[in-house]
Amino acid sequence: MGRSESVPSGQTGDRPSVPEQRSGDAPYLRVNDLRVRFNTEDGVVRAVDGVSFTVERGRTLGIVGESGSGKSVTSLAILGLHNAKRASIGGEIFVGGRQLVGLPEEEVRRLRGRDMAMIFQDPLSALHPYFTVGRQIAEAYRVHHPRAGKREARQRAVDMLGRVGIPQPARRFDQYPHEFSGGMRQRAMIAMALVNDPDLLIADEPTTALDVTVQAQILDLLADLQAEFHSAIILITHDLGVVSQVADDVLVMYGGRAVERGSVEQVLRRPQHPYTWGLLSSVPSLHGDADAELVPIRGNPPSLINLPSGCSFHPRCRYADRNGDRSRSEVPELRPAGEEGHLVSCHLAAEERTRLYREEIAHVGVAR
Amino acid sequence: MSEVGTPSAEAEPLLRVRGLAKHFPVRTGLRSRGVVRAVDGLDFDVRPGETVGLVGESGCGKTTTGRMLVRLLEPSAGTIEFDGRDITHAGRRELRPLRQDLQIIFQDPYASLNPRHTVGRIIAMPLQVNGVEPAGGVKARVQELLEVVGLNPEHYNRYPHEFSGGQRQRIGIARALALRPKLIVADEPVSALDVSIQAQVVNLLRELQRDLGLAFVFIAHDLAVVRHFCQRVAVMYLGKIVEIGDRADIYERPQHPYTRALLSAIPDVTKLGPAGRIRLTGDVPTPLDPPSGCRFRTRCWKAREICATEEPALVSRDGGGQATACHFPESGPVAGESGGTAGAAVEEVSK
């Protein structure tokens, strides 16, 4: 998807110093030090804790993480979908130059669906079962085009259904979601998200509920549509294989924080964070030695109410003892990892990381 | 056909499945709308200590098959023999002694444990139900099991909600092991878990399989996980086995176009960028009205007339253990690896 192999940095217009990333050719989305907290009876959940990134038009950022890493909370914050009574949101979110944090609900609603749209994991719960698929798409169009007549909206919806590869779109317009197969529903949801030509598309595990052969179709479709519409895409997933296929840049999240960021080449080929290493070496592969042991990450993901001190990955990290007590006591900042545009938050010295990766990780699992 | 997928007859199979089928009637109100042929004639064997994978996409009948094997579902046709005995229609009482040898692990570690029971009680349940008195007492056995699956034996008195997803799946495994079974049917045992935890559980299952000599029927949609766990693999499509063979046959020399498409559709972390994969068009057809002849023909780029009229039999091409149900089987390594066949396939599909 808009991959440019020749650009080594992956993130143009992104200076290594983290919280400030201002540049000439402003990226369409700029998230700065985003913090999302929920007050619960058990305590404050720091679901997202100081995350920054940018996405330009025509590029795809893959956000990778396991459950509870904060990846979905981040995307809902960008779309302003958190309940203001329960969540407190800090930091900055600039979409097309407009700061969204603190913007009145009505103004965010005006942007949502028009400038930015979302594709959810489960199309069955995102589509209303009571209305025809076509009517829902047409309505999404009319909300942002109040002057458009019914006929025009219908035509637009039929066009979109055809664009996302649904056969006989005019007939399909009048069918209900349950009459669509899983893959077709996901296509319909993509049609709905794209009906207003959004500049930013957030896809949250868009293919997780689908079979692999259908997943392949949907990933191809997203790539084709991006080439056509030139939108900025955020793809949230736990599947490193999906990321390797469609992302230009990758952000790895753990316990609500960004632990590594860079081009897909940097993060998957020359990963710098022990958590990224762990993810790569625990994925079973279709190639290589099938009898080799997988190398899992020990322990369990942390509780967001009671994050471990210092680097929140330290209880599961095999190298946490290499810096005296630093990993336990000091939260590592996201710092340049060496190559331009590659950032990592780890207390290990750069040379040691490179050595460890080469000697202990690179030959394991899919990290090879 | 009867010895399909059986490379050699050295060991008597522990599990022998022949012509196994499950048809669910579909009704609207009182009117019958026909039957869903969820599983439609399966033949395969599992030898003692062997791990056999059942793979396929949703609706292929793999879960229904697993449930019939442990007799949570009543087969509509065919036979299941376990340890030399026909258990196809065995009643509760006849099954009771077999329950000790035949256990199941479920996909959802949240829904498969009773939230009101302590872990100790959950794991001890199969012992009680079957009236088994372990040598050192129930508690000692449960604690031993907790240790075997890598949990703290002191957590005997805790409740399921106090454990993470991966730990709960370990509890489900301990429960399945309680009666020292010979065969475990594992239905998507790791698909609900995070990647880092998934590897822990796969390693545990592999270790148990080796140490205890357990046979497994491992049901999964993730072909990479299956490759790391199973010695033999059966690929299912719309209620039928389309290909069965040793791991190396299936992953390195698949013959059925569907197996090849399935393998090449898996996004591979080791390759960056859009993959040159076989693009299958459309979705899996409904099992309510499966295509005539070969069920895969509506999505197959090699389909000709004969595919619509004649159902291909699951037969071995070379007399070995790999059997394929296809009129036009492929040969050579997987598409996308070598490039040759992949390119051709992609071109043909895109026409």
Domain boundary (B236, B265, B280) is at B236
Half-sphere exposure of A319 (CA within 13 A, CB side): 18
Give the dihedral sign, CA A225/B346/A245/A214.
Answer: positive
- Token code pair at residue B192: 């609900």
Q: How far apart are CA A285 and CA A288, in angstroms?
A: 7
Question: How does residue B31 score in pLDDT terms, banded at 50, 70 and 90?
Answer: confident
- Summarize the confidence of residues B203-220 as an average pLDDT: 94
Residue B292, domain extent: 253-348
Minimal Cβ distance to B227: which of A290, A300, A366: A290
Per-residue pLDDT of chain A (368 residues; tens, 9 = 90+): 444 444 343 343 443 434 444 444 689 999 999 999 998 888 899 999 999 999 999 999 999 998 889 999 999 999 998 888 889 999 999 999 999 998 998 999 999 989 999 998 887 788 999 999 999 999 999 999 999 999 999 999 999 999 888 888 999 999 999 988 888 898 999 999 999 989 999 999 998 878 888 888 889 888 888 888 899 999 999 999 999 999 999 999 999 999 999 999 999 999 999 999 999 988 888 887 888 888 889 888 888 888 899 999 999 999 998 888 889 999 999 999 888 999 999 999 988 998 998 888 877 655 44
Residue A43's pLDDT is: 86
- Token code pair at residue A244: 């390797």
Q: How far apart are CA B217 and CA B230, in angstroms?
A: 9
CA A205-A200-A198 angle, 5° bins? 115
* Residues B231 and B265 occupy one common structural domain: no
The chain-wide mean pLDDT, for chain B, equals 87
Q: How far apart are CA B139 and CA B136, in angstroms?
A: 8
User: What region does A288 belong to: left with phi over 0, alpha with psi -120 to 50, or beta?
Assistant: left
Subunit contact B277:A216, Cβ cutoff 8 A: yes
- A240 CB within 8 Å of a chain B CB: yes
Minimal Cβ distance to A244: which of B206, B251, B272: B272
Half-sphere exposure of A358 (CA within 13 A, CB side): 6
DSSP reduced 3-state for A75 = helix
- Summarize the confidence of residues B55-79 as an average pLDDT: 93
Return the residue matching tokens 């967001």.
A304
Q: Is residue B311 part of a domain?
A: yes
Question: What topology is assigned to A24-115+198-247 in CATH?
Answer: Rossmann fold (3.40.50)
- Helices and strands: H and E segment counts in chain A: 13, 12
Residue B102: CB atoms within 10 Å: 25
**pLDDT tens across B127-160, in order?**
998 888 888 899 999 999 999 998 999 898 999 9
* Residues B168 and B263 occupy one common structural domain: no
Q: How far apart are CA A256 and CA A35, in angstroms?
A: 9
* Residues B197 and B227 occupy one common structural domain: yes
- Token code pair at residue A18: 């983290």
* Residues B185 and B38 occupy one common structural domain: yes
* Residues B196 and B277 occupy one common structural domain: no
Kindly identify which residue of chain A lies nearest to residue B220, measuring between CA atoms: A211
Domain boundary (B187, B209, B236) is at B236
Residues of A with Cβ-Cβ distance to B261 under 8 angstroms: 213
E strand map for B93-195: 102-105, 183-187
- A3 CB within 8 Å of a chain B CB: yes
Alpha-carbon distances of A18 from A10, A26, A48, A251, rounded to whole Å: 15, 16, 16, 13
3-class SS shares of chain B: helix, strand, coil, % to 5:
35, 20, 45
Alpha-carbon distances of B30 from A95, B25, B27, rounded to whole Å: 55, 11, 6
Q: Which helix (H) or strand (E) holds B250?
A: helix B247-252
Q: How far apart are CA A120 and CA B270, in angstroms?
A: 27
Q: Is residue B9 part of a domain?
A: no
Q: How many domains does chain B have?
A: 2
- Summarize the confidence of residues B283-309 as an average pLDDT: 90
Strands B51-55 and B232-237: parallel
CATH classification at residue B59:
3.40.50.300
Q: Is the separation of the CB atoms in A344 and A81 below 8 Å?
A: no
Amino acid at A29: L
Residue A266's pLDDT is: 95
Residue A366's pLDDT is: 52
E strand map for chain A: 29-40, 43-55, 60-64, 87-95, 98-99, 116-119, 200-204, 232-237, 249-254, 257-263, 335-336, 343-344
* Residues B56 and B160 occupy one common structural domain: yes
Q: Which helix (H) or strand (E) holds B236?
A: strand B232-237
Query: CA nearest A275: which of A241, A301, A249?
Result: A301
**pTM given for the model:** 0.85
Domain boundaries, chain A: 24-115+198-247, 124-194, 271-361
- Summarize the confidence of residues B16-38 as an average pLDDT: 87
Residues of A with Cβ-Cβ distance to B251 under 8 angstroms: 286, 290
Subunit contact B279:A217, Cβ cutoff 8 A: yes
Subunit contact A278:B196, Cβ cutoff 8 A: yes
Q: Is the separation of the CB atoms in A55 and A27 below 8 Å?
A: yes
- Token code pair at residue A88: 């407190």
Residue B343's pLDDT is: 34
Q: Is residue B260 part of a domain?
A: yes
Query: CA nearest B236: which of B22, B16, B62?
Result: B62
Residue A124's pLDDT is: 77
Mutation to test the B interface, candidates A69, A212, A222, most B Cβ within 10 Å:
A212
* Residues B224 and B263 occupy one common structural domain: no
Strands A343-344 and A257-263: antiparallel
DSSP reduced 3-state for B296 = coil
